[in-house]
């Protein structure tokens, strides 16, 4: 095992930060090139989805519309970030196939590009949630500051998952489709548009869901609540496990990924 080369790959996002920074900004620019509204479409898409589901499910669940739309908005804000980092992170190597054929870019650097790109989109969606909180006259309080360390944990989680999934997806091209299906299932199994209290008899299925704890780390502070220690602990433990898996995956795949393109 080439320890020096492996450590250089791990440090690449810090040492060569200009590469992923410029690539991610270019991705956003190209995605909305010749669009009249540009990145505003991200916010409009989320706003329409939150409004539509709130109107429907507030009647289905018989809950107050004003509280429910804030609950859904904050939950979707967190979900779109983590789901985007997972699905796009798995495509990080495949997406950069052209660059990899001419430049030796480490996998962590490519994944950091995806994480940063999704953080930019998160800021766009945050504008929608901020406007929503103002319209509904909702004041989260100082607890909202807890969303800042939560974002750091999100970025670390997304980076580690990308390092694990990107080379696997390059080797087995069915992986992105499998992840898409898994995320669709988890979207309905995670309390995003339904309340955890509605499963009081089967609370284990909520507490054992890692996506629930990730969502709570951002949704809770924005709703004026302090996330439970279980959510912090579960997320930190997940990061530790993912870190070990990411290090092993990178050690195995860093020399082979170019053969899988």
Cα–Cα dist 176/191, whole Å: 24
The pLDDT value recorded for residue 249 is 93
8 Å CB contact between 43 and 128: yes
Comparing CA positions, the residue from 224, 62, 85 lying closest to residue 165 is: 85
User: What confidence tens digit (pLDDT) does each residue in 9-50 have?
Assistant: 888 888 988 988 999 988 888 777 766 666 677 777 888 888
Cα–Cα dist 254/23, whole Å: 21
Per this entry, what is the length of the chain?
Answer: 261
**Residue linked to tokens 């479409």:** 41
User: What confidence tens digit (pLDDT) does each residue in 140-175 have?
Assistant: 788 889 999 999 999 999 999 999 999 999 999 899
CB atoms within 10 A of CB 38: 14
Tokens linked to 71:
């609950």
| Contacts of 210 by beta carbon, 8 Å cutoff, 6+ apart | 234, 235, 238
User: What are the domain boundaries of the chain?
Assistant: 3-259
């Amino acid at each position: 095992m080439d320890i020096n080369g492996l450590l250089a790959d791990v440090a690449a996002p810090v040492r060569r930060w200009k590469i992923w920074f410029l690539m991610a900004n270019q991705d956003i620019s190209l995605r909305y090139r010749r669009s009249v509204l540009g990145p505003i479409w991200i916010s409009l898409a989320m706003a329409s989805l939150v409004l539509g589901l709130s109107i429907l499910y507030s009647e289905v669940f018989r809950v107050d519309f004003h509280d429910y739309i804030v609950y859904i908005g904050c939950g979707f804000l967190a979900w779109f970030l983590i789901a985007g980092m997972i699905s796009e992170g798995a495509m990080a190597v495949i997406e950069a196939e052209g660059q990899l054929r001419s430049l030796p870019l480490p996998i962590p650097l490519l994944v950091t590009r995806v994480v940063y790109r999704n953080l930019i989109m998160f800021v766009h969606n945050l504008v929608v949630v901020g406007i929503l909180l103002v319209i509904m006259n909702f004041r989260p309080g100082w607890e909202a500051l807890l969303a800042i360390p939560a974002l750091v944990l999100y970025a670390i989680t997304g980076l580690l998952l990308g390092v694990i999934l990107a080379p696997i997806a390059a080797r087995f091209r069915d992986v992105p489709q499998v992840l898409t299906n898994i995320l669709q299932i988890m979207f309905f199994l995670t309390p995003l548009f339904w309340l955890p209290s509605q499963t009081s008899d089967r609370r284990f299925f909520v507490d054992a869901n890692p996506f629930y704890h990730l969502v709570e780390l951002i949704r809770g502070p924005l709703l004026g609540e302090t996330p439970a220690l279980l959510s912090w602990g579960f997320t930190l433990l997940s990061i530790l496990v993912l870190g070990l898996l990411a290090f092993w995956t990178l050690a195995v795949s860093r020399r082979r990924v170019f053969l899988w393109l």
